[in-house]
């Protein structure tokens, strides 16, 4: 085969190979559609590779025990102070990280399995 013909063949073949491989990708990698709730439709496609977390920095949930009572006292205290006597707001200070929800839960109404 002449070099020029070989070059043309290569130029034509590469996109064809890429097209074929691209078409197979959904089946090879798991891309595709996922049914959701039967007749309600499908999800997808998405990258179904596993989420890798090993070696990553895992952030702890900020959790402080229930402070419902303390919050109420704090808010009453703030209201009692006249506006002009309140401390100036520190705009540049970072906002504190609030807790995750920490209000006491009422007893669940139905049984279920014993708590683990």
Partner 1 sequence: MKILPIAEAKAKLSQSVMATMTAKALGLVLFGAVAMAAAADFPPLSDTTPTGEHFPGKFIWADLFTADPAAAQAFYTGLFGWEATTIERPTPSGTHSYIVLANGGEPVAGLGVLPPRRQDAVHGRWVGYVSVPDVAKALAAATAKGGRVLFPAKDLPRRGTQAIFVDPEGAELGVLHSSAGDPGEYAPDTGDWTWAQLFARDPAAEGRFYASVAGLDVLPDTRDDRPDVFVLASGGYSRASVAPLPPRPKAKPGWLLFVRVADVKAAAANAISLGGRVLVAPSDAPTEYWRAVIADPTGAVIGLVQLDEPGQPKEQP
* Residues binding partner 1 (CB under 8 A): 27-30, 32-63, 65-66, 94-106, 108-116
By beta-carbon proximity to partner 1, the closer residue of 1 and 37 is 37
| Least Cβ distance, residue 56 to partner 1 (angstroms) | 3
Distance of CA 85 to the CA centre of its chain: 42
Query: What is the C-alpha separation between 7 and 77, in angstroms, rounded?
Result: 82
Output phi, psi for 23, to 5 deg: -65, -30
| Least Cβ distance, residue 11 to partner 1 (angstroms) | 31
By beta-carbon proximity to partner 1, the closer residue of 83 and 114 is 114
- What residues form DSSP beta bridges with 42? 35
């Amino acid at each position: 085969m002449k070099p020029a013909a070989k070059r043309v063949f290569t130029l034509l073949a590469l996109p064809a190979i890429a097209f074929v491989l691209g078409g197979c990708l959904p089946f090879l990698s798991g891309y595709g559609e996922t049914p959701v709730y039967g007749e309600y439709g499908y999800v997808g496609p998405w990258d179904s590779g596993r989420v890798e977390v090993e070696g990553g920095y895992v952030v702890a949930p900020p959790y402080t025990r229930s402070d419902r009572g303390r919050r109420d006292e704090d808010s009453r205290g703030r209201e009692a102070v006249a506006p002009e006597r309140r401390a100036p707001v520190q705009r540049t200070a970072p906002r504190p990280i609030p807790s995750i929800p920490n209000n006491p839960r009422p007893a669940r109404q139905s049984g279920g399995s014993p708590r683990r």
